[in-house]
Structure 1
Amino acid sequence: MKKFLIFISKMMLLLLLIAVVLDFCYTAVYLKSDHRGKIDYIYNSKAREYDVAILGSSRANNHFVAQMFEDKGLKAFNFGMSGSHLFEASLMLKLMVERGYKIKNLIIETDLNLSNEHRADGIASRFLPYIHDSKTIKEHFAKEKDFYELYYIPFYRYVAFDSKIGFRELFFNAIQKRTSHLENKGYYALGNKKGNMENDLRALKPLHNKYYEEIKAICAANKINLIALMTPMCSNVKGMDYFEKVNKVYPEIHNYENAVQGDQYFSSCGHMNDTGARMFTARILKDFFNK
């Protein structure tokens, strides 16, 4: 029995050692990557300057054509990420400021994402390789229910989110395989193929969202002009009064939910195609950047 316990102890110690070594190796690769996605593009960067930076979910990523800002002489990049929430947008902005970014105007898409304060695991997990390297990321995750496992158990985060930051993603980072996320200055154009052209917002309730509050506070402290927007929806939406409810909580958020009308300009009910996005971006340029 004693020999068995000694054997088990040695195996556990060996497994712990392997986990520590793997954790170190994975993290070392991620700390040298800046070409796979928008998070590593920011994290492994030095100070950049933007006249316009854009944050939000897919309703930012697919709706703001960054090149159109550039054509007006405004240096711009669309940092919107499909599937993300304000949890991730706030952390992105914190990292930009930490790295000394100079941002004159921040456009933040704040509409449907105001209805929750949860993280989006598919996106949030991509910050986790840096959680031991960054006090900012550590503190942002500190109140998450699985923080202690993610932070203190070696290699756990890479196993728990294997599909996002596991071996496959590590390999692509190691061979410097690029993605489309950084193309077109971060803007991702949708085509004319129709997806779901119905939406029901009746169950959503806009919150006094702590991550939007963080974004406002960061912008105020760093003299960044914050432009908070609600972006368009297709015609077949139930519960359109949601956008009015948003303005009751946050009157400063500009309501553009009906700025582009006609389902021919939408790829799905909540996402415009490239033609619609260009119409919408032209409207934003006219309303906020017309010199």
Structure 2
Amino acid sequence: MKKYFSYLGILLSIVVVSSIVLQKVYYNHFTTHPPKNKLEEMIRLTDTYYDIIFVGSSRVERHVDCEIITKLTGKSCANFGYSGLELMDIDVLFSFFEKNNVTYDNAFVQVDYSYARRKHSANFKAAIVPYMNWDVVQKSLATSSENNTHLSLPFTGFITNDVRYNLREIGVNLFTEKPKEDFNYSVASLDGENTRVLRNFPSKYTGKHHSLERLIHSEKFKAGNLHFFISPYCPIVPNRNYHTQLANEYPFITDYTALFDDKIEMYRDCGHLNKSGAALFTNHIVLDLLSKQ
């Protein structure tokens, strides 16, 4: 029995030491090698200034054309939209911007029915695993509706996100340097015309969201440099008045939900505009939101 526990102790020691070593190796890879996607680049962006930034989910990524905005206003613009981005993700992303000296004159944040969720998106959790020792990240994960304690264990966060990292590919490329990819900070517009419903809205307003509350108590919001809006959504989605409830609760949110109710041809699906719709929406933003700044 004594020999058994001795072997068990050695085995556990090997596992722990290996996990710590692998954690350091992969942390170094994720923080020094070129980012694999736009989200990783946004998190690692440093010492950058834009006149205007837009932050949100695919309803920013697919809807806001920064090239049009720059052409019409002469101001620099970045589209920091990423598919599936949750409000908790956006909150932490702004903390990364502050820490990394990513500055801007005005930020426009998109909110919608995902306000009802109190968790990080799977892609964002995977992207912030290398920064688990950062206090803001730990606090945000602790307030999530999901249990994220395993992400704090050495190498566990990387292993549990293998499907998003492709650790085997990373292992092959650990000691090679790939060229930096240029990610699109303008718009990733969609083709097609449809009103297929992809999501149902919550039936009623779900109470205050701690991430939105944190953002509206920030110095940027108090100074008038942080703004919120709701992107268009086609009229056939169930419980669409959830957006009305949200805008009534927070009157500073500009609600564009019904903007294209008489232009259904502008939708690629019920929740996303097509290329023509994105161009029209961007022009509307310039005339409405940006002209007020």
TM-score (norm 1): 0.88
Tell me how far 1:135 sits from its aligned partner.
3.2
Give the whole-Å Cα distance in 2 for the aligned partners of 1:101 and 1:5: 52
Q: 1:198–1:99: structure 2 CA closer, same or farther, 3 Å change rule?
A: closer
Letter in 1 for 2:253: I
Residue 68 (structure 1) aligned with residue 78 (structure 2): no
Q: Does the 8 A contact of 2:46 with 2:100 survive in 1?
A: yes
Q: 1:19–1:199: structure 2 CA closer, same or farther, 3 Å change rule?
A: closer
Q: CA RMSD in A?
A: 2.5
Tell me how far 1:54 sits from its aligned partner.
1.0
Tell me how far 1:221 sits from its aligned partner.
6.7
Q: Which residue of 1 aligns with 2:228?
A: 228
Give the whole-Å Cα distance in 1 for the aligned partners of 2:42 and 2:200: 35
Tell me how far 1:129 sits from its aligned partner.
1.5
Tell me how far 1:179 sits from its aligned partner.
6.3
Structure 1 residue runs of 5 or longer lacking an equivalent are: none
Residue 239 (structure 1) aligned with residue 217 (structure 2): no
Q: How do 1:185-224 residues align onto structure 2 when only pairs under 5 Å count?
A: 185-192=185-192, 194=194, 196-197=196-197, 200-201=200-201, 203-220=203-220, 223=223
Give the whole-Å Cα distance in 2 for the aligned partners of 1:118 and 1:286: 34
Q: Does the 8 A contact of 2:34 with 2:180 survive in 1?
A: no
Q: Which residue of 2 aligns with 1:254?
A: 254
Tell me how far 1:274 sits from its aligned partner.
1.2
Q: Which residue of 2 aligns with 1:99?
A: 100
Q: How do 1:58-137 residues align onto structure 2 when only pairs under 5 Å count?
A: 58-71=58-71, 72-132=73-133, 134-137=134-137
* 136-145 or 90-99, larger mean C-alpha shift: 136-145
Letter in 2 for 1:97: E
Q: What is the SS of the residue equivalent to 2:217?
A: helix
Give the whole-Å Cα distance in 2 for the aligned partners of 1:236 and 1:179: 39
Q: What is the SS of the residue equivalent to 2:81?
A: coil
Question: What CA deviation, in whole Å up to 9, does each residue of 1:37-76 have, x standing for no partner?
Answer: 3443234332211111111111121111121122121111
Question: What CA deviation, in whole Å up to 9, does each residue of 1:194-248 have, x standing for no partner?
Answer: 4724754253535311111122223537846122111111232222322221122
Give the whole-Å Cα distance in 1 for the aligned partners of 2:38 and 2:178: 15
Give the whole-Å Cα distance in 2 for the aligned partners of 1:221 and 1:203: 29
Q: 1:73–1:96: structure 2 CA closer, same or farther, 3 Å change rule?
A: same
Tell me how far 1:95 sits from its aligned partner.
0.8
Give the whole-Å Cα distance in 2 for the aligned partners of 1:30 and 1:267: 35
Letter in 1 for 2:270: C
* 84-93 or 212-221, larger mean C-alpha shift: 212-221
TM-score (norm 2): 0.88
Q: What is the SS of the residue equivalent to 1:87?
A: helix
Give the count of matched residue pairs: 287
Give the whole-Å Cα distance in 1 for the aligned partners of 2:29 and 2:199: 41
Q: 1:117–1:256: structure 2 CA closer, same or farther, 3 Å change rule?
A: same
Q: Does the 8 A contact of 1:49 with 1:102 survive in 2?
A: yes
Q: Does the 8 A contact of 2:61 with 2:187 survive in 1?
A: yes
Question: What CA deviation, in whole Å up to 9, does each residue of 1:133-176 have, x standing for no partner?
Answer: x333233324446443211x211111111112350563578653
Q: Does the 8 A contact of 2:39 with 2:82 survive in 1?
A: no
Question: What CA deviation, in whole Å up to 9, does each residue of 1:101-148 have, x standing for no partner?
Answer: 22111111112122222221232221112213x333233324446443
Q: Does the 8 A contact of 1:106 with 1:224 survive in 2?
A: no
Letter in 1 for 2:16: L
Q: 1:202–1:99: structure 2 CA closer, same or farther, 3 Å change rule?
A: closer
Q: Which residue of 2 aligns with 1:176?
A: 178
Q: Which residue of 2 aligns with 1:50?
A: 50
Structure 2 residue runs of 5 or longer lacking an equivalent are: none
Q: Which residue of 2 aligns with 1:280?
A: 281
Q: Does the 8 A contact of 1:116 with 1:207 survive in 2?
A: no
Q: Does the 8 A contact of 2:55 with 2:81 survive in 1?
A: yes
* 206-215 or 169-178, larger mean C-alpha shift: 169-178
Give the whole-Å Cα distance in 1 for the aligned partners of 2:24 and 2:200: 45
Give the whole-Å Cα distance in 1 for the aligned partners of 2:180 and 2:103: 26
Q: Does the 8 A contact of 1:159 with 1:166 survive in 2?
A: no
Q: Does the 8 A contact of 1:34 with 1:42 survive in 2?
A: no
Question: What CA deviation, in whole Å up to 9, does each residue of 1:234-267 have, x standing for no partner?
Answer: 2322223222211221111111112224222111
Give the whole-Å Cα distance in 1 for the aligned partners of 2:2 and 2:109: 62
Residue 27 (structure 1) aligned with residue 44 (structure 2): no
